[in-house]
A and B are shown apart, each in its own frame.
Chain A
Amino acid sequence: MELFTNQVLAGIATGAIYACMALAVVMIYQAIDHLNFAQGEMAMFSTFISWQLMQWGVSYWAAFVITLAFSFVAGIAIERILFKPLAKAPVLTNVAGFIALFAIINSSAGLIWDFTIKQYPTPFGSAPFLGSQLISTHQAGMIGVTVLLLLGLYFFFQYTRIGLAMRAAASVPESARLVGINTSWMIALGWGMATAIGSIAGMLIAPVVFLEPNMMGGVLIYGFAAAVLGGLSSPFGAVVGGFLVGVFENLAGTYIPGVGNELKLPIALALIISVLVVKPAGLFGRQIVKRV
């Protein structure tokens, strides 16, 4: 039983990483209706920016704020320059664009900062949290930040004018345009916010997985899986999905014989798909009603 509790706790700790990423995924999905495959690389690039700032002697929190602002602007710029011209192109062409963006960012980061693994500082320290060996203060801090972000987003979307406008632009663009919402800029704003959230995720994850251009590959896959599991229309679902995926993955690795590190991912994904077969819109997602 102790093994079980320990594994669940460890799962929650890794789940926090996935939850963070899933939140960023859901954000951009809400704004543009696509899964952005380059999201992880964008987060990685932001994290490198903050690392570079710290190397130049900027303090952690200053670097954090500058990176956040940079990511927000960069996200908007990417949307305006690269993806706005593709707005009328077929969905699959857009997906190809994401893959191209992925390749560009990954390869440039590799050239600028090379592929060696770098240490990344944490603001929360890495002592055991409340005497538990399994969760460090950093991981607890990460869970805290994720929950705070979620609350912030909830209030933003439910109680601010601009949040309402963004939701309207995403769900019924035509009607939103008729009531005077600039839907095109709402999409750009969505990109900016998603990139900023992604950069927070990146900066929180970097102390755990270490900083290098490929650090996000695995995390993004779990982030997607978590977002899909929780339901792509629900930020709350994404966070719950993230924790669930973390726990799933740890329990599968412990209790199913013959499952090494290698098979953890396929098993976690298989589980998620079994859930989806029963609940096709994810655990907390809204069922899409089709008009005939």
Chain B
Amino acid sequence: MSAAEEVVAEGHQAVEAVPKRAMTLGTGTSLVVLAALLLVPMFVKNFIIFQMTMLLIYGLAVLALNILTGGSGQFSLGQSAFYAVGAYTSAVLMEHANINYALTIPISATVCFGFGYLFGKPALRLSGVYLALATFALATAMPQLLKLNFLEHWTGGVQGLVVTKPDAPFGLPMSQDTWLYYFTLIVTVAIYLLSVNLLRSRSGRAFMAIRDNEIAASSMGVNVSRYKTLAFGVSAAITGVAGSLGAIAVQFVAPDSYTITLAISLFLGMVVGGVGWLPGSFVGAAFIIFVPNMAESISKGLSGAVFGVLLFLVIYLVPHGARQIAILGQQFAGKLRKN
């Protein structure tokens, strides 16, 4: 089974090497998925459309973590902090400065890129569990920082801010939810394509070289510290965009929505989807959105335990996440074609 094959270069390595070509889906499959995403909202209820919007948003956030961990091999438990910064940037700009929601998204991407890049600087000295602890500290500090008194005028303190949901533009005949879904879909597809291209570019190869062997990468002329901080910046920017979209979709931002629990969910999403496999991010997002609800419906009192058992089942069956299923499917299709 080639899916389970991995290059165990050294014991301390956090992420197994992923073959570069396996990082994306084939063109045909991608188009089918895209068509489904475009057509489904025409036939389902508003609530399901809202859930699909959230799926895309969390998918983006998981994708961002995947670029950081699966791409450059740096582990982060602080993604919820970047998500919060993005969400608050949009909310504050929309509610206090009356800026159009669509314009707030590039702004929050820029703000988050700067934030992530700056955070990546001291994090350069750390790796493995130490980096996990540092990012964890960021995640626990963020809700408290947002509650600070002198920011209360802008952030609304513990109460948070209510965000107005945008109407469909140009008089398009669709509900707010449907419009927001398509808006999110456009942003998601754009970012997905950009990410795929980023990982295929010179910078992407530099990320992966660092992930696979830092010393070898630097002796080949890769500027390790530049690319490591760059990975943090890009990851934070994408997470920030997800945060902005999330704030608009949920119509509400509050410090306690962005705790470490969110960062842990995003991490689980990445593992379930397959570390280093970008399309898997959306599978992982589906897992972290739907499985807790499913667990709740199976047993109210034991929902945590049911969730844990389901998670164990998934990691036993496919320790490499959805990527493993995709590779198996590909081999199966290849065999069928030969016969």
Q: In the complex, which of the residues A86, A95, A273 has the most CB atoms of chain B within 10 Å of its own CB atom?
A: A273
A270 and B137 within 8 A (CB): yes
Bound Cα distance from A270 to B141, whole angstroms: 9
Q: Within the complex, which residue of A92, A106, A270 is in contact with B271, where a contact is CB–CB below 8 Å?
A: A92
The 4 closest A-B pairs by CB, nearest first: A107-B304, A266-B141, A269-B137, A89-B319
B14 and A93 within 8 A (CB): no
| In the assembled complex, B250 has its CB within 8 A of some CB on chain A | no
Residue numbers of B with Cβ under 8 A of A are: 4, 6, 10-12, 14-16, 69, 75, 122, 125-127, 129-130, 132-134, 136-137, 140-141, 144-145, 147, 149, 215-216, 264, 267-268, 270-272, 275, 301-309, 311-312, 315-316, 319-321
In the assembled complex, which residues on chain B have CB atoms less than 8 Å from the CB atom of A89?
Answer: 315, 319-320
Q: A97-B312, A100-B312, A103-B311 are in contact. Are A273 and B275 (CB under 8 A)?
A: no
When each residue 89-119 of chain A gets 1 if its CB lies under 8 Å from chain B and 0 otherwise, what string results?
Answer: 1111101110111111011101100000000
B133 and A228 within 8 A (CB): yes
| In the assembled complex, A194 has its CB within 8 A of some CB on chain B | no
Chain A residue nearest to B135 (CB atoms) is: A273
A108 and B15 within 8 A (CB): no
Chain B binding site: helix, strand, loop or mixed by DSSP?
helix
Bound Cα distance from A100 to B301, whole angstroms: 16
| In the assembled complex, A292 has its CB within 8 A of some CB on chain B | yes
Q: Within the complex, which residue of A111, A270, A276 is in contact with B130, where a contact is CB–CB below 8 Å?
A: A276
Q: A102-B308, A108-B302, A280-B126 are in contact. Are A290 and B12 (CB under 8 A)?
A: yes
For chain A, residues 153 to 175, give those with C-beta under 8 angstroms from any C-beta of chain B.
none
B301 and A110 within 8 A (CB): yes
A106 and B304 within 8 A (CB): yes
In the assembled complex, which residues on chain B have CB atoms less than 8 Å from the CB atom of A85?
Answer: 316
Chain A residue nearest to B270 (CB atoms) is: A92
Bound Cα distance from A96 to B149, whole angstroms: 36
In the assembled complex, which residues on chain A have CB atoms less than 8 Å from the CB atom of B136?
Answer: 221, 269
B268 and A99 within 8 A (CB): yes
B144 and A232 within 8 A (CB): no
Bound Cα distance from A100 to B292, whole angstroms: 12
In the assembled complex, which residues on chain B have CB atoms less than 8 Å from the CB atom of A225?
Answer: 133
Q: Within the complex, which residue of B144, B268, B275, B311 is in contact with A263, where a contact is CB–CB below 8 Å?
A: B144
Least Cβ distance of A48 to chain B in Å?
A: 15
When each residue 118-154 of chain A gets 1 if its CB lies under 8 Å from chain B and 0 otherwise, what string results?
Answer: 0000000000000000000000000000000000000
Chain A residue nearest to B124 (CB atoms) is: A277
Residue numbers of A with Cβ under 8 A of B are: 33, 35, 82, 85-86, 88-93, 95-97, 99-104, 106-108, 110-111, 221, 224-225, 228, 232, 258, 262-263, 265-266, 269-270, 272-273, 276-277, 280, 288, 290-292
Bound Cα distance from A221 to B14, whole angstroms: 21
Q: In the complex, which of the residues B216, B309, B311 has the most CB atoms of chain A within 10 Å of its own CB atom?
A: B311
B15 and A276 within 8 A (CB): no
Q: A93-B271, A110-B304, A265-B140 are in contact. Are A104 and B133 (CB under 8 A)?
A: no
Bound Cα distance from A125 to B237, whole angstroms: 54
Least Cβ distance of A83 to chain B in Å?
A: 10
B125 and A276 within 8 A (CB): yes
B134 and A276 within 8 A (CB): yes
In the assembled complex, which residues on chain B have CB atoms less than 8 Å from the CB atom of A290?
Answer: 10, 12, 215
Least Cβ distance of A173 to chain B in Å?
A: 8
In the assembled complex, which residues on chain A have CB atoms less than 8 Å from the CB atom of B302?
Answer: 107-108, 111
B271 and A262 within 8 A (CB): no
Bound Cα distance from A275 to B232, whole angstroms: 21
Q: A92-B271, A93-B271, A93-B315 are in contact. Are A292 and B215 (CB under 8 A)?
A: yes
Chain A residue nearest to B16 (CB atoms) is: A90
B144 and A262 within 8 A (CB): yes
Chain A residue nearest to B69 (CB atoms) is: A92
